[in-house]
A and B are shown apart, each in its own frame.
Chain A
Amino acid sequence: MTITNEPGTQVAVPTELVTVIIDGVAIGVPKGTLVIRAAEMLGIEIPRFCDHPLLEPVAACRACLIEIDGVPKPQPACAQVVSDGMQVHTQYSSDVARLAQEGVMEFLLLNHPLDCPVCDKGGECPLQNQAMSIGRPESRFTEEKRTFDKPINVSAQILLDRERCVSCARCTRFADQIAGDPMLELLERGAQQQVGTADDQPFDSYFSGNTIQICPVGALTSATYRFRARPFDLVSVPTSCEHCASGCALRTDYRRSTVTRRLAWDDPQVNEEWNCDKGRFAFAYLQQGRIEWPLVRENGELRTASWPEALAVAARGLQSAGTDTAVLVGGRSTMEDAYAYSRFARVALGTDNIDFRARANSEEEREFLAAHIAGTPIKVEYADLENAPIVLLACFEPEDESPIVFLRLRKAASNASGKNVTVVSVAAGATRGLAKMNGTLIPAKPGQEAAALANLPQDIQQALAQPGAVIMVGERAASSPGTLSAAVQLSQQTGAALAWVPRRAGERGALDAGAIAGLLPGGRPISDPTARSEVAQIWGIEVSALPQQGLSGLALHDAVDAGRIRGVVVGGVELSDYPHQAAEALGKVDFIVSLENHHSAVTEMADVVLPVGVVTEKSGTFLDWEGRPRPFGQVFRDAMMGSDASVLAMLADSMGHSLPGAVNDLRAQMGRLGPWTGARATMGPTRASTTTDGVRLETWRLLLDLGVMQEGDAHLAATARPTVARMSARTAQAHGIAEAATVHGPAGSITAPVEIDDSMIDSVVWLPMNSDGSRIYRDLGAGYGDGVRLAAGTQAGGLS
Chain B
Amino acid sequence: MKTGIVVFPGTNRERDMAQAFRVVSGKTPQMLWHQQDNVDGLDLIVLPGGFSFGDYLRSGAMAAHSPIMKAVRQFAEKGGYILGVCNGFQILTESQLLPGALLRNAGQRFLSQDCHLKVEGRDSIFTSGWKHGDVFRAPMAHGDGNYTAAPDVLDRLEGEGRVAFRYCTAEGHVKDSDEHVNMNGSARSIAGVLSENRRVCGLMPHPENLTEEILGGTDGLPLFTGIMEALG
The answer on A and B forming one complex is: no
B interface, CB within 8 angstroms of A: none
